Structure 1
Amino acid sequence: MITLPHTAPLPDAAEELELAASDDAIEAYLARFNARLIHGNDAIAIEVTGEAAGVPFRLVPDRGSLARVMKWRKLHAVQRLALVQERLNADTLAELQVEIERFVAGIERRARQAGLDAAPFLGALQTGRELASRRFQVVEDRLAEALYQQQEHSQAEAALHSVRLARYPESFELAAGMRRRFIAILGPTNSGKTHQAMEALAAAASGVYLAPLRLLALENYERLVDRDVAVSLVTGEERRLTEGATHVASTIEMMDATRAVEIAIIDEIQMLEDLERGSAWTAAVCGVPAKTVYLLGSLAARPAIEALAQRLACPLEVITLQRKSPLEMEAQCVGSVGKLQRGDALIAFSRREVLEWAASITKAGLKVATIYGNLSPEVRRAQAQRFRDGEADVVVATDAIGMGLNLPIRRVVFSTAKKYDGISEDLLPAWLTHQIAGRAGRYGIHEAGHIAGFDDHTHRLIARLMKTHASALPRRGFYVTPSLQQLEAITRATGEKSLAKLLELFSRNIDLSDDFFLPGNLEEQINRALWLDQLRLPLAQRFTFSLVPISSRVPMLNDAWQNWARNVARQRPNYLSEDLEAFERARFPLQAAEDACKKYSAYAWLGYRLPDYFPDAEAAVEIARETSERVDRMLATQHQSHQRAAARDDRFGSKPGPRRSSGPSRGGHLRRGR
């Protein structure tokens, strides 16, 4: 990075105008070189698209990394443009061109000598968002692997022959043998996508609804029950099985690839791009055995859907819908807690911020419901119902509100336009802003939805984000993760028994010559496998334990997971013998109760997979439900105590409090370790 002189920050308004002008100038300059700015790994860089020696490329030059995001934002407009011009100009572009041409010539020569086609290896130069030197190394590695396969018969070669990602769809035998067709219904929030597809599902002789969340699976299960459809609910932690059921509502990870149906719905299809869970959507699209598959999601998913349909040779019909009620950006920010109104949803981005805002708002005289990710689906639903029933005036929520909850929200108020991602705070992506804002103005309840920022700076940023189009999903690079059957194939071919090493073989050495399918993020699963490999457990049981939906970062939950695994290794059942009042004696009772819900749900998840070792699964489901009800009551009690405190302060003439406040102190919200 170059060192730039320090300059004093401009006032907000002037800075907004200058930075906007700077962005336009930079964009115009980069367009001359067929380049653009990208944001990745907490840094701003230049990505160049072109062709060298007949080979197309999309790369970041090794000098194309400009600055860390926070440093970039501190630069003035002139400094930004000067930095871009220094790093990319006619001379540096010519140097890049020569460098790529030399590299391509070398790869083609080596491939030709070995009787190989260089094109599949050089295709890695089109991936984008990575330094040229890194992509060069990928090409080198792939060619080296190909040369190695020609000469050696080793463990890695055996693994490569046991699983091929390029043939991934063929692993779903029932779906691969069916004549399937896709219907994509795409549009913004509140456009009627789900209603249209669910009508078709309810009328079908058989079908399945695949949801991203338990909450959505339950909601649409109940919708089908109300239509007198014989339907079962199947999630990782719960089963409601109906005798003779023709339909199933389930979470997407619970897809049954062995039961053919007439219609399937895959909801929130844009989740294909999610590094952590996107593999479940890839599996569903490739493997759900339905004659007609509805794909519901945002318009940004269209290129990805078209690419998958073409790859799978499935006819595709695309239906685009418009939002049923308009979204309107308010003229001014809200400004203070006292100006919040009944029907508002205030958005924060951590559990702590939600609870702080809720306390401030209740002290200002409004009743509050709270929704955040750590709450169980049952508690989220109960809190949402309080808002629907008018028991709460305002709902304070994280972005968990953006998926799976239909609420009568008139106005969405953003407390901030930034979100902490575990490393740093960064501006909200446009797609997330649109998804959250889209919860305002429920059709049939409000004529329009309204959006605002709490403070003036946030208001301006949100207004800009609402005008920004969400980036389209890529047409390749769909994530997949290994099944137990694939790992067993690798172990048969190689003799390898370690789960961690098998996962690494899949992730690093499986055929990647086709970037259409790529291994998903297996880092956490491999870390768990390293510990599980120390136990005397069969591969199937280690694989099951590696997937338990429980956080290893919470000591109580990680201890429970390890104790369960040790008992199974000793062939001892795990019985529930819980002190149901223990969390009330904890230092932070609400947090402890939330964690207890997750523990009981994880026990139930294991109970459905290893029933001999977890015989109390049904009891765990009931205890999780009871604990969820306690969490809901604890939240209600907490909000009521804030209201009583506010009333007491008013009665005894205490100094002005949150009623005139602008909200919780912002100072603590930027710290790490939430």
Structure 2
Amino acid sequence: MGKLEESYLLAIEQTKYKIIQDIDRYLEDKEKIPVYTEYISDRHTYLEGIWLNVWLNKASNDVPRKEKRTYLKSKGLNTNDIPHKVLNTMFRNELKGFDPFPVLEWLTQMYAENAVGWEQRYLEARANFFKRQNEKKLAEERWNVRLQLQSAVHDYIDNHSLLLYIYVRNHVAEKLVEDFKHNQRYQNIELFELEERLIEQGSFDTKDYIMVDEFFEELTGAVHSVFDWGRSRYEYETYYYRYEKIVQDFLSEFVPELVIKYIPEELLHKFAEVYEENLSTVAIKGLLGDELNDFAEACFEEIQDEYLADLVKLIATPFDEVVHLEIFEKDEQEREQRKAEALAEQVRKKEEEERILNDIFGKAYAPSLGRSIKYILHIGETNTGKTHQALQKMKGAESGLYLAPLRLLAFEVSDKLNAEGIPCTLKTGEEEKVISGAKHYSSTVEMFHEKDHYDVIVIDEAQMIADKDRGFSWYRAIMNANAKEVHVIGSWNIKNMLLTLLEESNVEIYEYSREFPLEVESRVFSLRDAKKGDALVCFSRRQVLETASSLQRSGHRVSMIYGSMPPETRKKQMELFTSGETTVVVATDAIGMGLNLPIRRIVFLENEKFDGTSRRTLTSQEIKQIAGRAGRIGLYDIGKVAFTADIKKMQALLEKIDEPVQNFAIAPTSAVFERFQKYYRDLGTFFDLWMQFDPPKGTNKASLIEERERYELVRDTEIEARYSLMDLYGYLHLPFSSKEPALIRQWLNTLEAIAEDRELPEPLIKTRNLEDMELSYKAIGLHLLFLYRLGRKTEAVYWERVREDISNSVHDHLKDELQNYQKKCKRCGKKLPDEARFPICDACFQNGHKRNNQNRFHK
């Protein structure tokens, strides 16, 4: 039998069933039995259509598509490539004439000549009708009783909520005392760290907690399941969850037993009548689940706000409603008073903290105005002679100070002045080269001392005032410079900021533009295009070495400049390029900060750099700062700029107008520390207050990240105990790389030695390879920072000579690196061709790609 025939038989049975239902509905509300023919007359339309409706729906839904196509083909209809909806329509149309079931004939056989059967149908229909009416009435009566019960219980809970809470309070107090007496305290860990074993920490002590909710944060030692964002997960249980259940369980048992005694007799009788059983506490619990849960939640919240000591002492008094109510009202009154006192104390503390913060920090960063100092601003693009003009003024003065952003620039200016017969002493944190009789000084900006007076002070790269970590050194130097004339050099975007800061001072502005244009080359650069006078810029020491080595093998003579290179070595590399002994320089972005070289073309080998967090596209200011080094008056009248990719995008950044500097950085001053010590004595508090301090509008706080990290290494140690606050912060603030573990160890060991009045440990010197020598150079630099800070200049002279020897070794080693350096695969060490774009070979890339695909497949 096919599905069509099976559906036909089922459709007949369903039609009969629907007609019987229709007869029952027709007869049930008739006071007198109607005759059969009356039914046929009244329901004629329904009876005519019922079969076709049932049959078409049944066959359409049950018969498979394949069988439908077969049936239609048997009727001579083409069903190829027709949509499913069209197929169903065709099928239904064909079924309309399919052997219809004779509804009226069947009914005639059943009831036309069977008066007894028709009467029996009528009696059953009426009986079912009356039964349903009675059931509906009973359901309504039960619902009304339920509503009356809920209202009665709700009124009882509303009117007796305080009394019920007194019972809950006493019950919780008993449980708390039991837990404090018998349970162990566990080490507090993350709730979901189930793989971590709980460690017992001894018994509980009520003195460790003020409020009940503090105790509820403790772990019970059990594991429970919680429902979170549609999923169940397991975690360690806290007493919060245990006591939440204790309160719910207590009220769900206690309230029904108490309430049933107060329900009116009439309502109890009514319940027994409609439910045919007496009202029980189980029934009340079932009727009032939501009501009890809401009340339990309210009680639990109230319990958490109680003082733990109040509950613990409660069990000493045998339970009595009146007595415990009096105790609660007294405790509540005292609690509210304590809360008010605590709130008032919080307000007082906050006001006091704000006053202290304002006293310590508030006045420290207001500009010093109204001084009779002449400021000359040199504003313009890179490589426009700004620094040269300012230095000319300084050289012509009786005394002068040059403040540089880098040690290398301080070196360069010092050497230049001495070479021109103007004695100039060099002072940076790591070295002092004192020239007898010198009245001119060259130093890094961090070495500025506001008490020293000069005829002329020159402050270079003033846009660095916006730097979040070093910017305050520029702010301090600009605003506190003690001189007849202060020359401030900066880019266009710092002009408005300087004018705002110096608005009440005597200010002159000189603006500079490039005398020769920058020209961006339209063709993508390749290493094969390198020519004499090129400076190739990348952003890692590794790539500097790779690129320089490749160029050297191609016949170029190459100089190198990168950040971790010793300044003396950097100077020699620059001199080789300036004198023409080398023709190409490969450098990191360090080249952009005031280094004057005869560069024909700046080439960006990369358009992105790693900024310590992630790789990002160079900013417009970074591109301008570096690109501006291209060109030299009388040598290269056009400065050329080239890129290896995205030329249009990078040219747009180069030509983009800079956004004006809106904020400058601030950092702690000695005056800040002096005021801080009126209130506190530890640096941990100082760092916390610094985080709370809201800096003035237009300023950004220095992050002090490195200082905080270093402080954590000495916090609560003998080192912290031995140093004064100012001395310790001075050592935390030493400018060295905290990313080098060896330097951190040296810093700690030296601090210990100073604290214990021992000889300072000598810096560890290794010379096996270039990395060792550069790290050794930094280690000696850190040692010199300590020596100069301690005033031990004689020892410093010796270590400066040792460092110079290391610098010479680096310079010599670079020659070998250029000859022997080979780009190698980071994974297998296989040699890579110079033109390789990636740091791994094809084989390692393919193996890694294959493994990734296999891992994806297995997932």
TM-score (norm 1): 0.68
Other-structure match for 1:608: 788
Query: Which of 641, 644, 647 is the equivalent residue of 1:459?
Result: 647
Is the Cα–Cα contact under 8 Å of residues 499 and 530 in structure 1 kept in the other structure? no
**Structure 1 unaligned blocks of 5 or more:** 1-146, 171-175, 646-654
SS of the residue 1:358 aligns to: helix
Other-structure match for 1:570: 756
- After TM superposition, give the deviation of residue 226 of structure 1 in Å: 3.1
Distance (whole Å) between structure 1 residues aligned to residue 439 and residue 580 of structure 2? 37
- After TM superposition, give the deviation of residue 664 of structure 1 in Å: 4.5
- After TM superposition, give the deviation of residue 159 of structure 1 in Å: 4.1
Query: Which of 449, 454, 469 is the equivalent residue of 2:657?
Result: 469
Distance (whole Å) between structure 2 residues aligned to residue 149 and residue 375 of structure 1? 55
Q: Deviations over 1:513-551 (max 9, x none)?
A: x31444212121122122233223222331121012221
Q: Equivalences for 1:273-284 in 2 at 5 Å? A: 273-284=466-477
Q: Deviations over 1:585-639 (max 9, x none)?
A: xxxx211111111111111111111236x97322221111111111111111111
Aligned residues: 488
**Distance of aligned partners of 1:291 and 1:595 in 2 relative to their CA distance in 1, 3 Å threshold:** same
Instruction: Check if 1:161 corresponds to 2:359.
Output: yes
- After TM superposition, give the deviation of residue 222 of structure 1 in Å: 2.2
Q: Which amino acid aligns with 2:767?
A: F
Q: Deviations over 1:12-49 (max 9, x none)?
A: xxxxxxxxxxxxxxxxxxxxxxxxxxxxxxxxxxxxxx
Other-structure match for 1:393: 583
Distance (whole Å) between structure 2 residues aligned to residue 656 and residue 302 of structure 1? 48
Q: Which amino acid aligns with 2:727?
A: Q
Other-structure match for 1:259: 452
Q: Deviations over 1:397-451 (max 9, x none)?
A: 1100101321111111111211121222211101110111111112222121111
Distance (whole Å) between structure 2 residues aligned to residue 666 and residue 330 of structure 1? 27
**Distance of aligned partners of 1:191 and 1:577 in 2 relative to their CA distance in 1, 3 Å threshold:** closer
Instruction: Check if 1:242 corresponds to 2:428.
Output: no
Q: Deviations over 1:257-305 (max 9, x none)?
A: 1122221111001101111211110111111111211111211111111
Query: Which of 500, 506, 509 is the equivalent residue of 1:318?
Result: 509
Q: Equivalences for 1:158-307 in 2 at 5 Å? A: 158-165=356-363, 167-170=365-368, 178-307=371-500
Other-structure match for 1:530: 712
Worse-matched range after superposition: 483-492 or 180-189: 483-492
Is the Cα–Cα contact under 8 Å of residues 360 and 664 in structure 1 kept in the other structure? no
Q: Equivalences for 1:351-500 in 2 at 5 Å? A: 351-454=541-644, 457-474=645-662, 477-492=663-678, 494=679, 496-500=680-684
Other-structure match for 1:33: none
Distance (whole Å) between structure 2 residues aligned to residue 657 and residue 151 of structure 1? 68
Q: Deviations over 1:438-487 (max 9, x none)?
A: 11112222121111113xx343332222221222111xx32121123421
How much is the aligned-residue C-alpha RMSD, in angstroms? Answer: 2.7
- After TM superposition, give the deviation of residue 197 of structure 1 in Å: 0.8
**Distance of aligned partners of 1:177 and 1:255 in 2 relative to their CA distance in 1, 3 Å threshold:** farther
Other-structure match for 1:506: 690
**Distance of aligned partners of 1:412 and 1:666 in 2 relative to their CA distance in 1, 3 Å threshold:** farther
- After TM superposition, give the deviation of residue 573 of structure 1 in Å: 2.4
Distance (whole Å) between structure 2 residues aligned to residue 405 and residue 251 of structure 1? 15
Q: Deviations over 1:98-126 (max 9, x none)?
A: xxxxxxxxxxxxxxxxxxxxxxxxxxxxx
Identity of aligned residues (%): 32
Other-structure match for 1:665: 838
**Structure 2 unaligned blocks of 5 or more:** 1-344, 825-830, 846-859
Is the Cα–Cα contact under 8 Å of residues 575 and 616 in structure 1 kept in the other structure? no
Instruction: Check if 1:626 corresponds to 2:805.
Output: yes
Q: Equivalences for 1:577-588 in 2 at 5 Å? A: 578=764, 580=765, 582-584=766-768
Is the Cα–Cα contact under 8 Å of residues 400 and 455 in structure 2 kept in the other structure? yes
Is the Cα–Cα contact under 8 Å of residues 545 and 817 in structure 2 kept in the other structure? no
Distance (whole Å) between structure 1 residues aligned to residue 700 and residue 476 of structure 2? 12
**Distance of aligned partners of 1:233 and 1:656 in 2 relative to their CA distance in 1, 3 Å threshold:** closer
- After TM superposition, give the deviation of residue 327 of structure 1 in Å: 1.2
**Distance of aligned partners of 1:657 and 1:522 in 2 relative to their CA distance in 1, 3 Å threshold:** closer
Is the Cα–Cα contact under 8 Å of residues 180 and 314 in structure 1 kept in the other structure? yes
Distance (whole Å) between structure 1 residues aligned to residue 495 and residue 750 of structure 2? 43
Q: Which amino acid aligns with 1:372?
A: Y
Q: Which amino acid aligns with 1:609?
A: R
Query: Which of 761, 776, 787 is the equivalent residue of 1:596?
Result: 776
Query: Which of 740, 749, 757 is the equivalent residue of 1:554?
Result: 740
TM-score (norm 2): 0.54
Is the Cα–Cα contact under 8 Å of residues 184 and 316 in structure 1 kept in the other structure? yes
Structure with more helix by fraction: 2
Is the Cα–Cα contact under 8 Å of residues 573 and 615 in structure 1 kept in the other structure? no
Is the Cα–Cα contact under 8 Å of residues 538 and 606 in structure 2 kept in the other structure? yes
Q: Which amino acid aligns with 1:599?
A: A
Other-structure match for 1:43: none
Bigger Rg, structure 1 or 2: 2
Other-structure match for 1:638: 817
Is the Cα–Cα contact under 8 Å of residues 204 and 263 in structure 1 kept in the other structure? yes
Other-structure match for 2:131: none
Is the Cα–Cα contact under 8 Å of residues 560 and 573 in structure 2 kept in the other structure? yes
**Distance of aligned partners of 1:322 and 1:583 in 2 relative to their CA distance in 1, 3 Å threshold:** same
Is the Cα–Cα contact under 8 Å of residues 746 and 763 in structure 2 kept in the other structure? no
Is the Cα–Cα contact under 8 Å of residues 372 and 397 in structure 1 kept in the other structure? yes
Distance (whole Å) between structure 1 residues aligned to residue 702 and residue 673 of structure 2? 15
- After TM superposition, give the deviation of residue 507 of structure 1 in Å: 4.1
Distance (whole Å) between structure 1 residues aligned to residue 705 and residue 833 of structure 2? 47
Q: Which amino acid aligns with 2:414?
A: Y
**Distance of aligned partners of 1:627 and 1:656 in 2 relative to their CA distance in 1, 3 Å threshold:** closer
**Distance of aligned partners of 1:152 and 1:423 in 2 relative to their CA distance in 1, 3 Å threshold:** closer
- After TM superposition, give the deviation of residue 251 of structure 1 in Å: 0.7
- After TM superposition, give the deviation of residue 200 of structure 1 in Å: 0.8
Is the Cα–Cα contact under 8 Å of residues 371 and 505 in structure 2 kept in the other structure? no
Q: Equivalences for 1:40-79 in 2 at 5 Å? A: none
Q: Which amino acid aligns with 1:202?
A: K
Is the Cα–Cα contact under 8 Å of residues 706 and 738 in structure 2 kept in the other structure? no
Distance (whole Å) between structure 2 residues aligned to residue 598 and residue 357 of structure 1? 25
- After TM superposition, give the deviation of residue 150 of structure 1 in Å: 7.2
SS of the residue 2:798 aligns to: helix
SS of the residue 1:183 aligns to: strand
Is the Cα–Cα contact under 8 Å of residues 265 and 295 in structure 1 kept in the other structure? yes
- After TM superposition, give the deviation of residue 363 of structure 1 in Å: 2.6
Is the Cα–Cα contact under 8 Å of residues 545 and 821 in structure 2 kept in the other structure? no
User: Relative contact order (alpha carbons < 8 A, sep ≥ 6): 1 or 2 greater?
Assistant: 1
Is the Cα–Cα contact under 8 Å of residues 165 and 517 in structure 1 kept in the other structure? no
